[in-house]
Amino acid sequence: MLIRLLYSLLLAFLSPVLLYSLYKKKAGKPSFGPRWKEHFGFTPKTNADQPIWIHAVSVGEVIAAIPIIQGIKQQCPEQAIVVTTTTSTGAAQLSKLGELIEHRYMPIDFAWCVKGFLRQVKPAQLLIIETELWPNTLHCVAKAGIPISVLNARLSERSAKRYAKFQFIFNQLAQNLSQVLCQYSSDAERFIALGLTQQQVHVTGSVKFDINVPSSALEQGQVLRAQIGKHRSVWVASSTHQGEDEIVLAAHTQLQQSLPNALLIIVPRHPERFEQVFNLANSFGFETVKRSSGATITNNTNVYIADTMGEMLTILASADICFMGGSLIGDKVGGHNFLEPAALSMATLTGPSFYNFAEIAHLLMEKQALSVCDNAPEISAKLTELFNHCERRLQMGQAALQVVESNRGALSKTLTLIRH
């Protein structure tokens, strides 16, 4: 009780800064509009009795949640599902599911906000995607007799060490959890080392391996590739963060010395950076086109900015090689998911920092389906090698796809465990 009280006082002190960051207007960021009140527990009632509540904080977690949502609906079409996100970008991604679910914004982690949400929604159980653990939320939900499962859970060694420094806080969190379904045995071992019981922890694998590539994405990717030119050398810098685009553009400058027809597609991780990256590419002297402009890609176009939401698979399907961002800026991000390009049989490169996806990275590297590049010259050199040796590039892509196919099945295990 005392720990949660102290935590709530700290949260109250920090909340103006957190809310400012959440609500700050940025180019390309969807507005919350009048729905900002939902963050404070003023939540509209749902249309169904005792829905399953799934929390997916933002875009990455929503992508992981989608196959779970679809799996639940396939098994039980009448089961109502309410999905909460914290961010408006996550809500925009979720809107593609249409009437399959109801969306609400996640209440801030004050007890009165969470209780307001629970009164209106009355969920039968809470499914949290990827270890988004909030003390007051967990306490209020567990006290209401609602089972809590953490799905697709991961716990890096770095995060485990941080929790261990504040073991008393982790104990408060853990006592409210019904079960934790981990991506890998290494994640499970870390949770158990922190005090969870063997009965609470299960290893299901990552539901992200159960990725489904819609035929529409492949078709749209081929349409884009036809616009680009089938015989050009095309690479994607996916989910880039501030500080990485300069490195990627420098690599492209070097690449064009040997392959002047090469095209770089940049997909910034955050929509508010779209315009900034466009201007940066222009400052490098590249002829740059934004996807949102509808402008034609010509032979003179050097850089294409994918400044639209929800088209990652389409963009990847139009290219030959993927460089995965979030991996070149020290330990700030820890990489992003390699499985989308892998599912598309793409040769993939990464920077040296990928600790959030270490297990997937190592699986891919064991099969020689992923290469690590530390800087712009190494990225350029590897791209040049792969573009000049088509057979090697295709072998990397096929090996990546085999890793995805051999690790499918997490979704079925997850659905079985959340039914019990």
pLDDT at 420 over 70: no
Q: CA angle, 18 as apex, 94 and 270 as ends, to 5°?
A: 45
Q: Fold for 215-406, please state it.
A: Rossmann fold (3.40.50)
Q: Where are the domains of the chain?
A: 28-211+409-419, 215-406
pLDDT at 40 over 90: yes
The torsion of the CA quartet 262, 253, 389, 290, rounded to 10 degrees, works out to: -30
What's the pLDDT tens digit per position in 240-292? 999 999 999 999 999 999 999 999 999 999 888 999 999 999 999 999 999 99
pLDDT at 309 over 90: no
What's the pLDDT tens digit per position in 106-147? 999 999 999 999 999 999 999 999 888 899 999 999 999 999
Sheet holding 148-153, edge to edge: 102-105, 81-85, 52-55, 125-129, 148-153, 179-182, 201-203
For position 49, what pLDDT does the model report? 86
For the chain, what's the residue count?
420
pTM of the model: 0.77
Query: What whole-number distance in Å separates Cα of residue 263 and Cα of residue 256?
Result: 9
Looking at per-residue pLDDT, the higher value among 163 and 233 belongs to 233
What's the pLDDT tens digit per position in 149-175? 999 998 888 889 988 988 888 888 889
**Do the domains 215-406 and 28-211+409-419 match in fold?**
yes
Residue 350 backbone phi and psi in degrees, to 5: -145, 160
pLDDT band at 26, cuts 50/70/90? confident
Q: 55 pairs with which residues across the strands?
A: 84, 128
Task: Point out the residues that are catalytic.
Answer: 61
| CATH number, domain 28-211+409-419, options 3.30.460.80, 3.40.50.11720, 2.60.120.380, 3.40.50.300 | 3.40.50.11720
Q: Are 313 and 221 in contact (CB under 8 A)?
A: yes
Task: Determine which of 46-50, 80-84, 284-288, 349-353 has the lowest per-residue pLDDT on average.
Answer: 46-50
